[in-house]
Chain A
Amino acid sequence: MTDAALGRVPREFRRSYLGEGSTLLSWLTTTDHKRIAILYAITITVFFFIGGAAIGIVRLELMTPQADVVSADTYNRLFTMHGVIMVWFFLVPSIPTTFGNFLLPLMIGAPDMAFPRLNLLSWYVALLAGVIAIVAIVTGVGDTGWTFYTPLSTEYATGHVAWTALAIFVMGFSSIATGINFIATTHMLRAPGMTWFRLPLFVWAMYAVSIVMVLATPVLAITLLLVMVERVLGLPIFESTLGGDPLLFQHLFWFYSHPAVYIMILPAMGVASEVIPCFARRRVFGYAFMVYAMIAIAGIGFMVWGHHMFVSGQSNFANLVFSFLSFVVAVPSAIKVFNWTATLYRGQITFEAAMLYALGFVGLFALGGVTGLMLACVPIDIHVTDTYFVVAHFHYIMVGGTVSAFFAGLHYWWPKITGRLYPESWARFAAILMFFGFNFTFFPQFILGYLGMPRRYQVYPPEFQAYHVMSSMGASVLAAAYLLPLGYLMWSLFWGRKAGDNPWGATGLEWQTSSPPPKRNFLATPRVMAGPYEYHPAEESPEAAGAPMSREPHRSQGGGA
C-alpha cells in the first residue's frame, strides 16, 4: 500500500486496534475479533498455569514410590484437575480462539468475524465456564479423571463431579459459537479473489477444526448432561443394576473425545504450515494435498473412537474395524509430515525462534503419531492400555505437538499482534529448552509404560523410580521453559523493537496491513491475485513486490546456480 493511498484515509481509520480505547470497559465490551483474541489469550494463559501447577504437585509426589506429599484423594483430584483444565480450558480453545480469532479475518481480507457479538458472547461463556471450574476446584473437584467414566462418576466419586461436568458443558457452547463463527466467516467474508484454493492453510485448518467442533462438541454436551442428570436427579441412564450400560457412556464420550484430539492438533498443523514455508523461503509442498489431508483427518477422525475401548469388551470385529480405521487416519497425518519436510528441501532455512518451535513440532508430532500407530495395533494396545505409554503418546501429540505449535505461532505473529519484536536469542533459548525439557519429561514415560507402570497411580514399585525421577526433573525444565516466554514477551511489549508491517518477509494478507492492524484490519478491501506462499520464483517473492529487503532474496533451485 503506497503512502499516497494512505494519505486519503482519515486518521481514526489508521489508528491501531490497541489504540481504540484503553479502559477496561472498552476491552470487556469490544466486538473486535483482535481484542477478543487477546481476552482469550489472557484467559487460557491463566488456565494453562493452573493446570500446570496441578501436575507440578503430581510430579513432585511421584519422585518417590511412597505417598508422601498429598493424600490419595487429593492425588486423584490433582490429575483430574490437570486433565480437565488442560484439555477443555487450554488445548481445545488454545489456537482457535487466540490466533484463529485474530488471524482468520485478516488472512481472508475481512474486516471482522461474521458474527462479532456472538464472538464476544463466546468469550463470556468461556469465562462463566472458567468460573464454574474454579469454584469446583476450590470446593473439591471431581476425582474421576478427565474421562468421567460411569459408574464411577455417577455413583462412587466423592468430589463435585456434577460441577466439573457443568463447567465443561458450558465451555462447549463457547466452542460451538466459535466454530459457527469461523465457518460462516470463511464462507461469507473472503475478499475478492480469495478463492477456496488460495486460502492459507491456517484458514483451512480453522475451517476443518470448526467442523469438528460443531459436530463433536454437542455429543459431549449431551453425554455430560446425562451424567449430571443421573448423579443429581437420580434418573437412571447408565445405571447397570437397572439394565443400563456403562459402555454406552464410553461410546458417547469417545465419539467426542477422539475428534477432540483433532480439535487440538489441526490448528497446530495450520500454524506449522504457515511458519515452515516462511522460514524456508519455499512454497508449501503439495498445497492441495495439505488441504485434502486436513479435511480427511477431520472426517475420518469421527470414525476411530472405538480404539479407546479395545479392552472394554467390545466385539473383536469392532476392534478390527476401529484398528483399521485408526491406521487409515494416520495416512493424511503422514502426508502432512512428509509435505512439511519436503517444503524444507532446498529451502533457505533460517532458524528464528518460531521456526525452531515449528521444526520441534514436526518431530514430536511424528513421534507421537508413530506411537499412536503402535497403540492402534490391538495386541500392543492390550499390553499397554492405561499405562504411561498412552500418557506419553498423547502428551507427544498435545504438548509436543499443539503446545509447540502454539509457541511457534505466538512468536511468528507476536510482531503483528503487538507491533513489537521479541528478543530473538532469549526466544531461541526458550525454544530449545522446551524441546529438551519436553523429551526429558515424556520419553521416560514411554519406557515406564512399556514396562507396565499404570497411569493414575500415586504409589508404585521402587524399580520404576529412576524413570519417574527423570520425568519429574524434565518437568521442572519444561516449567522453566514455559515461564521464560511469559517474561521476555512481557518485556518486549514495553522495550521491544518496533516490528514494522512484515518483519519476516512473509506472504499472506495479514502481513500487508500495519502492525498492529487498524480496527477494520485493512484500509481498503484487499484484492487477491494469487495463491498463498508465493516465496519463489524470485520475481513473485514479497521482496520483488516491494516488501523491505530484510532477507536474502530466493536463489533459483538446483544446478548449483
Chain B
Amino acid sequence: MSDAALREPWEDLHRQREAARLGMWVFLATEVLFFGGLFLGYSAMRVAHPAAFAEAARETRFWFGSANLALLMTSSATMTVAVRGARAGFAGMARWCLLMTALIGIGFIAVKGVEYHLDLDDGLWPGPGFALGMAPGQIFWGFYWVMTGIHAVHLTIGIVLVLRLALLSWRGLIGLRDNPQMPVVGLYWHFVDIVWMCLYPLLYLVGRT
C-alpha cells in the first residue's frame, strides 16, 4: 500500500514526503504574502481612519465570528490527531478525524453563510444603499467582504482536500500512514485556521475595545 503513494521521480517515500512538505511550506510562504497584501491594505486604511473603522467594526456579529473561531480551532485539533494518528498506524481513527475535520469546516461555512445573510439584510454591502453611510466605514466593510470571502474560498478548498483523503482511504484506494498528502493537507488546514485567528481580532474585536 505504501508503494502506491510513491511517484516519479522519487526513489523512496521518505524523501518524497520531505519534498512534499517543503513544497507546501514554500506555498504557505506565498499565501502569507497573499494575505499580507490584504493585511497591509487594512492596516494602512485603519491608521488613516481609526474612528470610522472602530465604529464600522462594531456592526460585525461578534458571536458568529467567535463561534467560528472556536469551530476552526477545534478542527485544527482533529486535523492534528488525524495526521499524527495516521503516522502512528491508527488508520481508523485518522479517517474519522479527517471526516470530523471536514464536517467542522462545513459547519464554519454554514455559520458564515447565515452571518452573510444577516449582514446583507442589514444593508452592510458597501454602495449607494449602505446602512452606515459613513464614508471610510465603507472601506472597512469592503475589506470585511474581501477578507472573509477569500478565507472562505481557502477553507472550501481545504474541505475538499480533507474529504477526498477520507473517502479515498475509506474505499481502500490510498494508505494514510506514509502518504505525503497527509502532512501537506494538515499544514494547509492549519494555515487556513491561523488566517482566521488573524482576521478575527481585525474584524470582530477592533470596535469593541
Contacts and interface: CB of A to CB of B under 8 A. Distances in A.
B133 to A, nearest CB: 11
Interface in B57-108: none
Contacts of A114: 9, 19, 23
Given A189-B9, A223-B37, A245-B48, A236 B126 contact: yes
Contacts of B7: 116-117
A179 B30 CA distance: 10
Contacts of B30: 176, 180, 214-215, 217-218
Contact of B18 (A188, A216, A248, A251): A188
If over half of A's interface residues share one DSSP class (helix, strand or loop), that class is named, otherwise mixed; here it is: helix
17 contacts: A105-B9, A114-B23, A115-B19, A180-B26, A183-B22, A188-B22, A214-B27, A215-B33, A216-B33, A218-B33, A219-B34, A219-B37, A225-B146, A226-B41, A235-B145, A236-B138, A237-B142
A239 interface: yes
Q: How large is the interface on A (under 10, 10 to 19, 20 to 34, 35 or more residues)?
A: 35 or more
A252 B35 CA distance: 12
A23 B15 CA distance: 34
A299 B31 CA distance: 19
B142 A184 contact: no
Given A180-B27, A236-B142, A243 B135 contact: yes
Interface of B: 7-9, 15, 18-19, 22-23, 26-27, 29-31, 33-38, 40-41, 44-45, 48-49, 52, 126-127, 135-136, 138-139, 141-143, 145-146, 150
A369 to B, nearest CB: 27
Interface in A106-120: 110-118
A187 B20 CA distance: 12
A184 B23 contact: yes
A244 interface: yes
The 6 closest A-B pairs by CB, nearest first: A222-B37, A218-B34, A243-B136, A112-B9, A235-B142, A111-B9
Given A184-B19, A226-B146, A242 B136 contact: yes
B19 A31 contact: no
The winner among A105, A221, A235, A251 for most chain B CB atoms within 10 A is: A235
A223 B146 CA distance: 12
B34 A243 contact: no
B153 to A, nearest CB: 11
Contacts of A188: 15, 18-19, 22
A206 B105 CA distance: 38
Interface in A14-40: 31
